[in-house]
Amino acid sequence: MSNNYQKSSNKIIVCGIQARMASSRLPRKVIEPIEGRPMISIIVDSLNSSQLITKNIVLTSNEKTDDSFADLLKSKNIAFLRASQEDVLERYYLAAKKENADLIVRITGDCPLVDPSIVDEVIYQAIEHSADYCSNVGDRTFPRGYDVEVFTFTVLEKMYNEVTDPIEREYVTIHIRKNPNLYKIHNVSSKYNHSEWRVCVDTHEDLKLIKEIFNHYKNKKQISFNDVVTLFNKYPDLPKINAHVEQRKYMEK
């Protein structure tokens, strides 16, 4: 992937990192320390290295359970917005509206290995293809934990005003993916298919694997996707740590 992106001069690109303390399978995971840093700090620091994002904002809930999380974000000078816990679509809309965003990037707060070069590639492809929605999750080739979704403010506002299904409002982009005839959609793929790997954090096993990866690269400021591929190819037992973990589907709701 190219590292020669020019910062967009005519588009405001806002990245919303959705995160909250009350995770059902691994509560408080967003502040879990990894090599001495809270997971949310690692994610934001990585995204701050993006060449195309204008502003990163953590989107959390206005529930009491997230008061201490908001305090942590404030203490670390991380921009954040608090709104509905269940209506995540509202969180994205309010943040994008406030920042006059042209494009919105959706990242979840359980992906400590998020790679800014992959994020920039998806943003770049979204702009190049004039896509309403561009992601690397449609025809998945990247491992879970590298998910990037980019959509226009026009589409976000349309969903905010028209989508009524609570599940679609909580999971933000399901409506787009369920209605490909209504939107111009583009998918970004990796050179090799590693979709069987999982480096997001939903369970204790996921966290164990992540800590192993960070421990191996403890002196590296940014662990790239290629670093993880190299590590897993060298130590094929590593990705087996959480190979049995199943991704929660929104249908389970």
| Residues 41-93: tens digit of each pLDDT | 999 999 999 999 999 999 999 999 999 999 999 999 999 999 999 999 999 99
According to the model, what pLDDT value does residue 7 have? 47
Domain count for the chain, please give it: 1
- Per-residue buried b or exposed e for 86-124, using 16+ beta carbons within 10 Å of the residue's own CB: ebbbbbbbbbbeebebbbbbbbbbbbbbbbbbbbbbbbb
**What pTM did the predictor assign?**
0.93
For 164, the domain range is 13-191
88: domain CATH number?
3.90.550.10
According to the model, what pLDDT value does residue 23 have? 80
Q: What is the rounded CA–CA span in Å between residue 227 and residue 32?
A: 22
According to the model, what pLDDT value does residue 5 have? 56
According to the model, what pLDDT value does residue 219 have? 87
According to the model, what pLDDT value does residue 3 have? 44
According to the model, what pLDDT value does residue 248 have? 66
How many other β-carbons are positioned within 10 Å of the β-carbon of residue 167? 13
Whether 160 is in a domain gets the answer yes
Whether 212 is in a domain gets the answer no
Whether 211 is in a domain gets the answer no
Whether 7 is in a domain gets the answer no
Which residue from 237, 228, 242, 225 is spatially nearest to 122, judged by alpha carbons? 225
The residues of the chain scoring below 70 in pLDDT are 1-9, 248-253
Burial class of residue 10, CB neighbours in 10 A (0-12, 13-18, 19+): exposed
